[in-house]
């Protein structure tokens, strides 16, 4: 399973990348706005900085246009920034057309805002490199987001699609565990969720005891 971090914050990206467990980054307009980044030059420089941190990793950069021509223009420019850029396109009629266009141009895409298995199937048929089903946002409206991951996984296996499931809107470690059991190819989660994966109270208790007993060995 590949781990992407869902943030545009360079320090958080560095922190998780330094653990040696990071395979990529997903951003979205809300995450970019949270960092206070404005203007095309600054936005592009920020994507480049992210790509440089996760050298060899994949970095989703989202188009801001909602019309086909705008998505094509923006996506082609984003793809020029760095070879790690994956153009993130919303799940709309124009978005699907744009994904088909980018696929023919060998530009990698991430179809975002996927909330149904039918949307994922259409994105796969258009040639999306990734589909991003939003698990947490479905949970928020009392619908089991993990059921969606299961359904998409079954469909993609039935037809051997190359499109990868990028489970998004991940809120806690159990989401990651369940996505791994189902077989999602990638999860994207905030830094805190990855750090939470490391924790277990018995580890803390066990380490405390080892440190105490270790002092009796008088190594130093």
CA-closest candidate to residue 28, choices 185, 192, 190? 190
Task: Report d(CA 119, CA 133) in Å as an integer.
Answer: 9
The distance of closest approach from Cβ of residue 120 to ligand E4P in the complex, given in angstroms and rounded to an integer, is 14
User: Considering only residues 154-173, where is the footprint of ligand E4P by CB under 6 A?
Assistant: 168-169
For the record, the structure tokens of 133 come out as 């089903």
- Which of the ranges 42-50, 119-127, 129-137, 197-205 carries the binding residues for ligand E4P, by CB under 6 A? 129-137
Give the DSSP H/E element, type plus range, for residue 23. none
130 is a contact residue toward ligand E4P (CB under 6 A): no
CB 27 within 8 A of CB 62: yes
- CB nearer ligand E4P, residue 127 or residue 133: 133
The position carrying tokens 């993609």 is 156
Pick between residue 28 and residue 119 the one whose CB is nearest to ligand E4P.
28
* Residues annotated catalytic, as ranges: 88
69: Cα separation from own chain's centroid: 25
Candidate residues 137, 155, 182, 196; the one interacting with ligand E4P per rule CB under 6 A:
137
Binding site for ligand E4P (CB under 6 A): 6, 26, 28, 112, 132, 134, 136-137, 168-169, 188
């Amino acid at each position: 399973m590949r781990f992407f971090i869902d943030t545009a914050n360079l320090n958080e990206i560095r922190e998780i990348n330094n653990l040696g467990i990071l395979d990529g980054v997903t951003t979205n307009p809300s995450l970019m706005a949270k960092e206070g980044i404005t203007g095309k030059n600054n936005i592009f420089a920020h994507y480049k900085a992210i790509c440089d941190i996760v050298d060899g990793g994949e970095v989703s950069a989202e188009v801001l246009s909602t019309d086909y021509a705008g998505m094509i223009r923006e996506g082609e420019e984003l793809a020029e920034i760095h070879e790690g850029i994956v153009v993130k396109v919303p799940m709309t009629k124009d978005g699907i057309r744009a994904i088909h266009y980018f696929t023919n141009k060998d530009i990698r895409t991430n179809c975002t805002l996927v909330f149904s298995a039918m949307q994922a199937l259409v994105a796969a048929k258009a040639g999306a490199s990734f589909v991003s089903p939003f698990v947490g946002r479905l949970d928020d409206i009392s619908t089991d987001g993990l059921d969606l991951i299961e359904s998409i996984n079954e469909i993609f296996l039935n037809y051997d699609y190359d499109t990868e499931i990028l489970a998004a809107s991940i809120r806690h470690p159990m989401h990651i565990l369940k996505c791994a059991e189902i077989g999602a190819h990638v999860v994207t989660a905030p830094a805190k969720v990855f750090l939470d994966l490391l924790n277990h109270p018995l580890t803390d208790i066990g380490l405390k005891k080892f440190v105490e007993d270790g002092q009796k060995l008088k190594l130093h």
